[in-house]
Amino acid sequence: MTSPRFNYNSNLAKGSGLVNETLALIEFYEIGESKSEFITRCISHNILNKSTEHRTKDIINLVFFDRYWKANENTVKNLKLLRESGLSLDSLKSILFVYTSRANKVLFDFVLELRKEKHSKKITKDTSRSFLLRAISDGKAPAWSDSMISRVSSYLVSCLNDFGLLDKEGFLKVTSPNTKVCSFFLHELHFKGYSDQKIVEDEIWSLLGFEFHQLIKEIERISFKGTFIFQYSGEILKIGWVFKTMEEFIDYECR
């Protein structure tokens, strides 16, 4: 842990994407149970196969709950519903990536910087190390030791691989997420209380690889499915929402 006066902390070094572990925990989670109940069951059933009790607690407390529970306890329930509905692994990875980036500002900003560079260079540990050294110089991160810089640098690149953001040559992929991922976050932001305008201005769209005009076209295309009504004149943007809850949306979208 580091001081909250810094934008970045070293929490990512507790585990990079941990996709398989996260999926196992989501599947094992029972809707409505408390954090302590969940941890107890995970340990007693050795749900993270071959992990020690201490490692299991660390993964759940410092990774799983930090990313998918702390900001909104309904997130785990929504992810479980998506998983049970048969949403593709690639789509789930895109969604997990956004939540991981929200919980780890260092990953969020690193990917935004890479997006602005238009996929122009191969992403290596040196790329992430240079990013971290600039962050320390700018006061966004504490004066980490060389070993900690090395660890966080490594985990930044590992996260991109874990979430499927890099191609075989190590370049950031150009493709944007599929329709269901986009639709999920439109509704997630709506149910968080965002205005329609604030939804399309959120930085997660840049994180996912959308430029504004691409996002507007994608939202318009999604609206033809009937999940919402979309109006955009170039100045006024309005969305007519159909569903009352995320559960209702997920049931319709993934059935």
Give the model confidence (pLDDT) of 179-210 as tens digits: 999 999 999 999 999 999 999 999 999 999 99
The Cα 182–Cα 180 span in angstroms is 5
Look over the chain and give the mean of its residue pLDDT values, rounded to a whole number: 92
Residue 2: the pLDDT is 44
* pLDDT tens string 61-113: 889 999 999 989 899 999 999 999 999 999 999 999 999 999 999 999 999 99
Q: Where are the domains of the chain?
A: 11-87, 182-254
Write down the pTM of the prediction: 0.94
Residue 119: the pLDDT is 61
The Cα 81–Cα 89 span in angstroms is 14
Kindly report each contact of residues 115-120 with a partner whose C-beta sits within 8 Å and lies 24 or more positions away, as own/partner: 115/172, 115/206, 115/207, 115/209, 119/171, 119/172, 119/173, 119/174
